[in-house]
Amino acid sequence: MIINFWPEFSILFAASLVGGVAILPYGLRLLQGSAQKKALKMSVSQLVLISLLQTIIIFAIVTGVGLLAAHAIGLGAPYIEMVLSGNASMQAVVHMLQVAMIFGAFAGAILLVADLLFLPYWPKALVDTARKTTLWENFTASFYGGINEEILVRLLGLSALAWLLSKIWHTSAGLPTNEVFWAANVIMTILFGIGHLPSLKNLIGKISPVMFARSLLLNAPVGLLCGWLFWTYGIEAAILAHFSADIVYHVFGTIVLRRNIKSNA
């Protein structure tokens, strides 16, 4: 466990920094014209620097503790381990890639269809956001969703919760049972949806019951899928699936949503 920790940590932490940089164009776009921008008393360069420093500090801790928690229950980054040890099976890697990307894209399509049903209830601020963010900004933001959110919610959150629950319900080897994994997965999926509410509130102001339900329901397919992929294949599969879902929903889906917004205008 200790032998694999630092190489795994270095790769996942470096990936989280990529995600932290990739989200900046999208975040700065949302900040333009918002009430938050008027309240800020710093330049854009200062804001970017602070954001990067926060990412470095937070994800150094999240990645490290997450790996320790994951290793404690037999999880982690098995494909990174295989590559580092020189024992990588191309067949196993290709299979994981196919499963993660296909299921992730399917989950993204489900999100898109579901959000089309919520479209008539979108507040104006949400409509304006869908119109003003570029597809390139949505694409780069998908790296943050795929990498950083998975390291935070699955590698750290699900692992730590499953470890705690396994102190009560566990197999003969002391590892979490399938029921523990599913319970932790459901709980973290709910928290994953709730975790999107603060940024939504900053964007639209007061959150209506419909928008609250939207946040929970739209994040459920990706959350449950990535949790299952995490303990079945590894954090790499969860990251790829989340990234694939975000590409379908935030990039291709934005095109579809914009066309429907125009037709409903």
Domain range for 62 is 2-264
Q: Would the pLDDT of 36 be above 70? A: no
Q: Report the number of distinct structural domains present in the chain.
A: 1
Q: Which residue has the higher pLDDT, 82 or 40?
A: 82
Q: Would the pLDDT of 117 be above 80? A: yes
Q: Over the stretch 119-161, which tens digit does the pLDDT of each residue have?
A: 999 998 888 888 888 999 999 999 999 999 999 999 999 999 9
Q: Over the stretch 155-208, which tens digit does the pLDDT of each residue have?
A: 999 999 999 999 999 988 889 999 999 999 999 999 999 998 988 888 888 899
Q: pLDDT band for position 1 (50/70/90)?
A: very low
pTM over 0.75: yes
Q: Mutual orientation of helices 135-143 and 24-31 as an angle, nearest 10°?
A: 130
